[in-house]
A and B are shown apart, each in its own frame.
Chain A
């Protein structure tokens, strides 16, 4: 019975092999290695096995005979599939994604150039989601069943249901086209382009460090719309989860005790109940951040934001397989990495999970 119960929780620790103590220590490492293997295997199949001619998919149809044959040898296409996968894996591990036909640079260099823009966008959106979503969720839980709760639910449903690219276009139409309050697509106005030295690639940081406050303000204005659009989903998700975690806590007996002791409602909510919710929220925020890095694909297309999502989609249309696969692997690694970090933080913050 005990065995069955532990199995119901779905933990791998209950399996007889490998032993429990071993899995407890090595499971995170094991998971990462395995997930990475899976990730490379899937991208290998997509990039090398599925296309009718993988060489053509990489060099394009205007490549010369020499280039074609060099790539053919380099990919090891005359060797068995497993050997090809081994070559691919070594390449990925050493950051060798090959050259991009579109930009004629190494895919890795491209990814390093494009990544900061996505990072900037997703970070600001996640922060917005946290600072608006968390209070919204708490408010809804405290006022369960009242109009404010229903309002939060409707906003949440909207965030889940709206096509993000459409919302982006509608806000562009209203705030840029009709009202003229915010600037159009892009990261900066054209005449500010290239003034700030890209130290980190994150324009807000670079401009602040170099004291270019006018550019900082312009970049911030450009960021408002895409970040708000991207934050819609984050906000919906975070508010909904905060509400349900908060409801769990508010029904606990220690909350009742705190109330009976005569603590003010605010102290009960924020200092007692919310502190316990905070730990659970770490995982949710990690998940949101990871999904926004990915979700930025469509937002970047709408707002001409030169990030990794736009890089992947433009490469896709130029049949630039190396770039597509490189981008997919990098986003996948970030996704897995962020989830791992939030899992680790959760273990640190919650003594029961240690």
Chain B
């Protein structure tokens, strides 16, 4: 067949046939096929692509911050304080003459730092508790899940507030407080997934080959929990960003002169009526980024979970 068609079209069509074949010859081919199909469904979903674009822009901007900005966002030029948006300062300047555009760009690094740190704490903890509870069952399950329920039942922001008030304000403490109030849904999801796969044959096979519980959990159970955990994480990212910004706004998160977006809104609050750009511009940045994560999460769920149905 391939000899009949011109060379240029033959290669992609053969690659496509390989990717779409109903009888994959190897594990690698099966994996590539699944990836290809998901990617295709994903790229046909405009909502998800919009989200992806926003997040990629955020990463890009954070990585290239030194090239995009004219300073580090903390240098004060008191002569230029509270200038309105214009050619020299795209988003104007704040009460200490700092360029708001520069601060927002540098602030993207802090936002990424917060969400990454929270994710790095929350996902392993949730996976560990959830898979152990689901796999072992019995009293271990009962105790771990009651603890999870208590954290789930507790109002999130209030708990984070109380934690920060005991630990003292600061970026790291805010991250810790957010992580403490965020891990519980991940444990629930991991447990639910584990329950559906713990009696699967490949688990029996691994066990009969003498694999330890730790090995089974790490190599055979956890990978299967990951996709739902990732979807949940993406959807939770917006909540994490909003809580971090809320803590920053209340003065409990990142401390000045760090250009954290929530703290910037709080700093500029008294200028709201006369120099509106000082407190309002950073809020737009928060809105766009958390919207990006929500769009991406929504799209990922549509792609990875066929039950939810495409909206």
Contact = CB atoms under 8 A, between A and B. Distances in A.
A152 to B, nearest CB: 10
A144 B310 CA distance: 11
Contacts of A223: none
Contact of B153 (A35, A162, A167, A301): A35
B283 A312 contact: no
Interface string A16-53: 00000000000000010011001100110011001100
Interface of B: 137, 142, 146-147, 149-151, 153-159, 161-163, 165-167, 191-192, 195-196, 199, 238, 242, 245-246, 249-252, 262, 265, 269, 272-273, 276, 279-280, 282-283, 286-287, 290-291, 294-295, 298, 309, 311
Contacts of A50: 163, 166-167
Nearest to B47: A153
Given A35-B153, A162-B287, A331-B158, A153 B165 contact: no
A161 B287 contact: yes
Secondary structure call for the B interface: helix
9 contacts: A4-B199, A162-B287, A162-B290, A169-B265, A295-B157, A297-B246, A301-B250, A316-B165, A331-B155
Given A165-B265, A166-B286, A15 B142 contact: yes
Contacts, number: 155
A313 B294 CA distance: 28
Contacts of B251: 317
A52 B119 CA distance: 28
A336 B158 CA distance: 13
Interface residues of A, number: 59
B279 A339 contact: no
A157 B246 contact: no
Contacts of B279: 166, 169
Nearest to B166: A50
B159 A42 contact: yes
- Pairs A-B, 10 closest by C-beta atoms: A166-B283, A38-B150, A294-B155, A50-B166, A161-B291, A161-B290, A177-B273, A316-B165, A328-B162, A46-B166
B229 to A, nearest CB: 16
A172 B155 contact: no
A170 interface: yes
Contacts of A160: 238, 290, 294
A253 B76 CA distance: 68
Given A163-B283, A177-B273, A332-B155, A35 B150 contact: yes
Given A160-B238, A301-B250, A321-B165, A42 B155 contact: no
A328 B160 CA distance: 10
Contacts of B309: 247
A259 to B, nearest CB: 21
A166 B265 contact: yes
Contacts of A316: 161, 165, 250, 252
